[in-house]
Structures are given as C-alpha cells and as structure tokens.
C-alpha cells in the first residue's frame, strides 16, 4: 500500500523560482551526463518551462495519474511528439553525399513542438505581462505513483534516501508508470524498450556530490539535503519557514522537489508608476500550481524582504541568498565530482 | 474442454508456416477468451483502471506434432496490426500459450481457473510478439508479478497478418532444451493442460491487460 513506500530519510530539493533565470544549464548538465545515448534523444529528465505555459510534455497537467483519496487515478501515456522530439538533420545528404553546395542543413521535418517551445511567452498584457521559469524533474515522491503502478516491481524507492529508481534489467516496458506518474516525468526508450527517468544523480549522491542540475546552476537556485536535517536548508525552508512548496500537492504523491514561489516584479500603471495594490503574478495562478499554502508563503517572503529593505536582518533571506557555495546549498553533498572519483561529471 | 494434437509427418518449416496446407488437415478448435480479471492483479493502478481490455473475444487453435516438435497454430481477427512499438502505436500485439511445469502437475486440472501460476504451481508460457522476430520468448511464472522472459527456450514463431487476421505458429521440441524448472516437456502420446492469451496492442493491452482463456484446457497429444 501507499504507506509501504515511505523511506527512513528523504533526500529533497528546493528550487527558488525567484532566482531562476531560465538558462537551461541544469537541463544541459543532466542531458550530457545521463541522456546522451541513442533512444534518449527526446528525454529531458530535467526541463525548464516558462509559466504560464503548456509545459513538458505539452498540457501534461491534463494527463491524469497520481492518487485521488489514496486511490490511483487513471492516466494517459504521453507520446514523444507531446514531449517534443529533437529535430533530426540529414547530415549524410549534405556532408557526405555531395549535396552540400546546393542545400543547407535543416531539420528533416519542420518542428512544431519541442520541450521549451513556448519559452518566454507567459501571460498578461503590457505593461503587466508576466512569466517565470519552472524547472521540473522527477519528484522522488514519498508515495511514488509510478512504483505503485508497476506490476513487476521494477521501480524501487531507496529506504536510505527515498530516491526512486527504475531497474533497467527488470523493466519490460509496460509503461504503467508513465501513465500513473502525475508529473509525466518518465520517458520511454524505444531502443532499450524500457522506461527511464531522473535518477537524482544517485551515483554522485552516494559519493557525497550534489546532483548535476543543482551544482551546475549559475543562479544558485537549488538546495539539496535531507528533509529531516534540522540544520540544513531544506528543513528550514520547507518545514520551519514554510516558504518552499511541492508542485500540485493535490496529485497525492507527496512530491519532494519544493519550490519557493515567485514574487515577480511590481505592477505598472498606464502612466509608468508602480502599482503595489496587487501582485503582478496573479495569486490564483500560483494557488493553481502550489496549492493554498502559497498565500502564507508569499506573505512570509514579502515580510522578510521588507525587513531587509529596512536594513534589518532576515534569517530567511540569508538562507535563500546563500553566501557560501557549496556549503550553504548542498548540506552533506558538497564534494567536487572530480575529486570524488571518475564518471560523475 | 479439449485441444487435440494430431500427429502429422510435417517438416518443421512447413508446420511453422502459418499459411501452409498442412494446417488445412488439422481441425480447428474455437476458444472463447475473456478479459483477464483485474481484482487480484499486482498493481493498485491496474486494479483501479476502468475495464476496457480484452478486445479479442475468440481465437481458433490448431495443434500438431511430428514426433519431434510440437506446433500451435493460433488465428484471430484483429482489425489493427500492431508490430514494432512506435510513438503512434505504443504497444505491439502479442499472443501466448501457457502450460503447467512438471512441479505443478498434480496441482491443476482441466476447468480450474487460470492465473499466472502460484508459488507451488509454476507455469510456462510461450510468448510471441511481432517485434521479437522469429524467436518466441520462454516465460516462467510463479504467481502474478513474477514472470521472467528468456530468449533461449528454443521456441520458434512465425506470423502472418492478412485481411484483418493474425495467424501465428509456435514450434518447440517436445523435449525442451531447458530444464523442467523453465520449460514444460510434452510427451506423445500424453496429456497436459494449456491456456491461451492474446493482447490487442491498439487497445494498449500489455502484461495483465489482455484476453485469456479463463479455464485450463486439456491438451491431448496423439501417439
Ligand atoms: C487470470 C488470468 C491472468 C491474469 C490476471 C494475468 C496477469 C498477468 C500480469 C499482471 C502480468 C504482468 C507480469 C507478471 O505478472 O509477471 C502478466 C504477464 C504475462 N502473462 Fe498473464 N495473466 C493471466 C493469464 C495468462 C494466460 C492464460 C497466459 C498465457 C496463455 C498469460 C501469459 C502471460 C505472459 C506470457 C506474460 C509475460 C508478458 C511479458 O513478458 O511481457 N497470462 N500476466
Ligand atoms: S540552471 Fe538554475 S537558473 Fe538556469 S534554468 Fe536551471 S534552475 Fe534555472
Ligand atoms: S514524479 Fe513521477 S516518476 Fe517521479 S517518483 Fe513521482 S510518480 Fe514516480
């Protein structure tokens, strides 16, 4: 049953959306480390999408899965075209078959969707349009709907840190996990005929190195550590300050990637003045993503930011800024991947 | 219910060909299939699915042996031919023949409800899928969620799809190359049990979502 999955300790991540610049360095760090083989072209275990937007895979929030009153909810299998395949180029024709003088390299098929297709579109109208970036990866859920769905128990959740893994030797490609994952963060590999997803960089974690997406992030947006480590940033942001929230808590899996909600810039009036009477990013929109707890979280963030503006100290902002890298960000996972041994970077 | 295995001096190549004239000499048995029950399946997600599986309602079964090898000829109507999994057709069609392994011999009888075996009732299935090529997988199971596939069961399979119908022939030596833990030996003359399953790929059928012959059938092998 659901409760059987609960680990002894849970490794978690906090992503501060106020600092994310949408550079996709995390996406590329992950791609080059884990998904650069044939059959994995369309996979972005880490993806960053502009919100509001259709997301990855396209309109994934309408695809079902997760739990409703603890009962698994049917879900739909996302396709590669919904994730957005990478463009395929006809290198042979242009480079080695003698057509290079007449034709230039271009995608064989005109792409009409890719994982970050609606980047920077956002919503709202001038002068108050808005958007923010939402990095997503497998949530290593406390109640992994994916694992619960697999009839042959090919998916496990590690007791020691809650990392959810698909055993590539056991997986038979049934893809119930892909249907059941409400975050649509599992991909099917047509070459190996298995389902694959984010492994939370477990080979790095096992050697004291933070996840590649976290460590490579130039915005220093990501914190990692155990949820129950009272001195670490995760516990303090999630449990103590309650400013970091899971995405779509109503999916019922208890996601372990937490987000500090975006405050956004101030609104403008027609004549170019600031309008602080209401937020630029509509609160209802944030509630639709992070649940009702987003309201007190934003209030706390705003109160603490105001303190700082007045020149007072804010413990919360000290954590969110993080002065010392990597120590203030990665708890016990501060080792350098090169020093920790081969194959990790 | 009974399926008879006629003895016919056919060459392996002849028997393996689904359209071969040799199959015209073997009377077919109509086997009615039912959607596999969901309630005891090993995935809470699958148990909670709305029951839309089991699209194939019947198959026609023929069987023969030539003294060396046993062949099953399965044919069924399926308007959609699903071969290699692709983005638009994620799941292939599939079919399987199941027999109890020797250890289960005194544990199951004709008419007993079918399952994926149990701890003390190991079963053996021959699994055909169009994307496996001409080699069927040898599957063993001791209960739901325990199936294991092996490619070295020495099971051949050839298939043909024409006019909205699949015809699949399985063939294996009566005396299998794998041991009695993995492959069910068949003796001629002799008797054992069989069951059948068909997956309709276009209906996203795979694993426990399929159509099955709900009760064990006697397989009567002629001398
Ligand atoms: C009550 C009827 C049945 C139920 C509920 C059922 C359920 C399942 C389930 C849940 C699986 C997933 C994998 C596993 O459990 O190991 C499975 C796999 C399998 N079943 Fe059944 N089964 C039934 C009857 C049959 C019959 C009659 C056959 C064959 C004639 C069959 C052949 C197979 C095969 C070959 C696999 C492995 C498929 C693969 O390797 O991809 N099953 N079944
Ligand atoms: S690397 Fe950091 S700043 Fe850049 S997109 Fe990823 S999370 Fe945002
Ligand atoms: S996000 Fe999806 S794939 Fe990851 S643990 Fe949760 S249910 Fe499983």
- Predicted pLDDT of residue A55: 97
Ligand in closest contact with the CA of A212: 2
Q: pLDDT band at A90, cuts 50/70/90?
A: confident
**CA distance to partner chain A, nearest, from residue B46 (Å):** 7
Q: How far apart are CA B40 and CA B38, in angstroms?
A: 6
CB of B146 closer than 6 angstroms to any ligand 1 atom = yes
In chain A, where does DSSP find H-type helix?
A: 25-34, 80-83, 91, 145-149, 176-180, 202-205, 212-215, 233-235, 283-290, 294-309, 315-321, 327-330, 337-340
Radius of gyration of chain B (CA): 16
Tell me the C-alpha to C-alpha distance, in Å, between residue B181 and each of A82, A124, B107, B184, B220. 44, 66, 15, 8, 22
Q: How far apart are CA B210 and CA B46, in angstroms?
A: 12
Query: For B21-46, how does the pLDDT look when each residue is reduced to its tens digit (9 = 90+)?
Result: 999 999 999 999 999 999 999 999 99
Helices A294-309 + A283-290 axis angle, to 10? 120
pTM above 0.90, yes or no: yes
Give the pLDDT mean for B151-174.
Answer: 97
* Percent of chain A scoring above 70 in pLDDT: 99
pLDDT averaged over every residue in chain B: 97
Residue B171, C-beta contacts closer than 8 angstroms, at least 6 positions apart? B12, B15, B16, B69, B70, B71, B72, B155, B156, B157
Query: For B58-103, how does the pLDDT look when each residue is reduced to its tens digit (9 = 90+)?
Result: 999 999 999 999 999 999 999 999 999 999 999 999 999 999 999 9
A2 has pLDDT over 80: no
Query: Are A149 and B85 in contact (CB < 8 Å)?
Result: no
Note whether ipTM > 0.90 here. Answer: yes
Q: How far apart are CA A327 and CA B212, in angstroms?
A: 58
Nearest CA to ligand 2 atom 8: A20
Query: Are B85 and A190 in contact (CB < 8 Å)?
Result: yes
Tell me the C-alpha to C-alpha distance, in Å, between residue A332 and each of A88, A236, A315, A336, B9. 41, 15, 21, 12, 72
Query: For A162-197, how does the pLDDT look when each residue is reduced to its tens digit (9 = 90+)?
Result: 999 999 999 999 999 999 999 999 999 999 999 999
Q: pLDDT band at A213, cuts 50/70/90?
A: very high
Residues in contact with ligand 2 by the CB-under-6-Å rule are A 20-26, 48, 133, 135, 217, 219, 221-222
A343 has pLDDT over 90: no
Give the pLDDT mean for B185-208.
Answer: 97
Minimum-distance ligand 1 atom for the alpha carbon of B194: 30
CATH domain A2-85+116-340 topology: Alpha-Beta Plaits (3.30.70)
Helix (H) or strand (E) holding B12: helix B12-16
Minimum-distance ligand 1 atom for the alpha carbon of B206: 41
CB pairs under 8 A between A and B: 60
Give the pLDDT mean for A39-45.
Answer: 96
Nearest CA in chain A to B92: A174
Q: How far apart are CA B12 and CA B171, in angstroms?
A: 8
Please answer whether residues B10 and B22 qualify as being in contact, where contact means their C-beta atoms are separated by less than 8 angstroms.
yes
CB of A5 closer than 6 angstroms to any ligand 3 atom = no
- Predicted pLDDT of residue B13: 97
Give the pLDDT mean for B136-154.
Answer: 96
Beta bridge partners of B30: B60
Query: Are B87 and A179 in contact (CB < 8 Å)?
Result: no
Q: pLDDT band at A296, cuts 50/70/90?
A: very high
B53 has pLDDT over 80: yes
Could you state, in order of their start, the residue ranges of all structural domains in chain A? 2-85+116-340
Q: How far apart are CA A206 and CA A163, in angstroms?
A: 11
Please answer whether residues B215 and B1 qualify as being in contact, where contact means their C-beta atoms are separated by less than 8 angstroms.
yes
Tokens in use for B155?
A: 């099971």
Q: How far apart are CA A37 and CA B152, in angstroms?
A: 28
Q: Indicate the top mutation candidate among A6, A178, A253 to test ligand 3's pocket, ranked by most ligand atoms within 8 A of CB.
A: A253
Sequence-ordered strand ranges (E) for chain A: 11-16, 47-51, 67-68, 71-72, 132-136, 155-157, 164-166, 186-189, 194-197, 222-226, 245-246, 257-260, 267-268, 274-275
């Amino acid at each position: 049953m659901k409760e059987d999955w609960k680990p002894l300790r849970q490794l978690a991540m906090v992503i501060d959306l106020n600092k994310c610049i949408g550079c996709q360095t995390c996406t590329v760090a992950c791609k080059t480390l884990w998904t650069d083989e044939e059959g994995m072209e369309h996979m972005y275990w880490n993806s960053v999408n502009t919100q509001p937007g259709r997301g990855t895979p396209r309109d994934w929030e309408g695809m079902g899965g997760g739990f409703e009153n603890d009962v698994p909810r049917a879900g739909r299998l996302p396709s590669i075209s919904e994730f957005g395949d990478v463009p395929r180029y006809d290198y042979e024709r242009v480079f080695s078959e003698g057509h290079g003088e007449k034709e230039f390299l271009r995608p064989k098929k005109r792409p009409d969707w890719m994982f970050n297709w609606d980047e920077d579109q956002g919503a709202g109208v001038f002068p108050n349009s808005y958007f923010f970036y939402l990095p997503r990866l497998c949530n290593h859920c406390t109640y992994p709907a994916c694992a619960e769905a697999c009839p042959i128990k090919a998916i496990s959740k590690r007791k020691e840190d809650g990392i959810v893994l698909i055993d590539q030797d056991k997986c038979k490609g049934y893809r119930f996990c892909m249907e059941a994952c409400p975050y649509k963060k599992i991909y099917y590999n047509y070459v190996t005929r298995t389902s694959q997803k984010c492994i939370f960089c477990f080979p790095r974690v096992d050697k004291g190195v933070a996840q590649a997406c976290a460590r490579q992030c130039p915005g220093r947006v990501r914190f990692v550590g155990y949820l129950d480590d009272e001195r670490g940033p995760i516990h303090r942001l999630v449990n103590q300050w309650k400013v970091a929230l899971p995405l779509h808590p109503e999916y019922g899996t208890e996601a372990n990637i937490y987000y500090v909600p975006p405050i956004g810039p101030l609104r403008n009036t027609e004549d170019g003045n600031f309008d602080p009477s209401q937020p630029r990013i509509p609160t209802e929109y944030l509630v639709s993503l992070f649940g009702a707890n987003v309201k007190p979280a934003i209030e706390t963030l705003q109160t603490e930011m105001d303190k700082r503006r007045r020149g007072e100290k804010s413990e919360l902002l000290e954590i969110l800024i993080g002065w010392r890298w990597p120590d203030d960000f990665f708890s016990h996972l501060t080792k350098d991947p090169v020093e920790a041994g081969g194959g990790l970077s | 219910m009974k399926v008879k295995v006629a003895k016919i001096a056919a060459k392996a190549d002849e028997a393996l060909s689904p359209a071969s004239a040799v199959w015209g000499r073997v009377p077919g048995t109509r086997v009615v299939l039912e959607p596999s029950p969901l309630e005891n399946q090993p995935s809470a997600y699958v148990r909670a699915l709305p029951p839309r599986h089991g699209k194939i309602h019947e198959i026609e079964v023929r069987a023969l042996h030539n003294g060396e090898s046993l062949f099953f000829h399965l044919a069924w109507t399926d308007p959609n031919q699903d071969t290699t999994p692709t983005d638009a057709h994620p799941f292939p069609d599939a079919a399987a023949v199941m027999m109890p392994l020797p250890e289960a011999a005194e544990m199951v009888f004709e008419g007993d409800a079918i399952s994926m075996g149990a701890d003390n009732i190991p079963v053996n299935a021959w699994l055909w899928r169009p994307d496996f090529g001409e080699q069927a997988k040898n599957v063993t199971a001791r209960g739901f969620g325990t199936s294991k596939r092996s490619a070295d069961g020495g099971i051949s399979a050839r298939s043909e799809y024409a006019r909205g119908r699949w015809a699949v022939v399985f063939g294996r030596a009566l005396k299998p190359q794998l041991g009695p833990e993995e492959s069910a030996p068949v003796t001629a003359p002799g008797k054992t049990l069989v069951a059948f399953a068909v997956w309709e790929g276009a209906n996203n059928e795979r694993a426990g979502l399929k159509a099955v012959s709900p009760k064990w059938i006697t397989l009567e092998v002629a001398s």
